Amino acid sequence: LAKTTQPISMDSYEGQEVNITCSHNNIATNDYITWYQQFPSQGPRFIIQGYKTKVTNEVASLFIPADRKSSTLSLPRVSLSDTAVYYCLRGGSYIPTFGRGTSLIVHP
């Protein structure tokens, strides 16, 4: 199973930028990095996906360095509604494999 390592929890405040780092030392050449967000009692929601360098969409940015052994999800100016669990997945395979994720709590 594809393995990634990310912090179990993080705290932030409204309006701050949050960066969540994920380690994936054994990433394969054809693996993409995908991030999901999950609110309580809901299914995970796709946020962003990338292969290398930087990807940006209306929700977040994803930074992947040249060696691709880690990646950073960046959430600009978080609000209380960004409180959720964030999962980092690696894989070019067809079965998304989740770890425990990072529980982000945004404080007023």
Interacting residues with another protein (CB under 8 A)? 41-46, 49, 85, 87, 94-101
Rg (CA), the chain: 13
Q: Which is nearer to another protein, 51 or 98 (CB)?
A: 98
Which of 39, 16, 26 has its CA nearest to residue 101? 39
What residues form DSSP beta bridges with 20? 73
Q: Which is nearer to another protein, 3 or 77 (CB)?
A: 3
Q: Quote the least distance from Cβ 97 to another protein, whole Å.
A: 6
Q: Which is nearer to another protein, 47 or 106 (CB)?
A: 47
Residue 56 is encoded by which pair of tokens? Answer: 């940006």
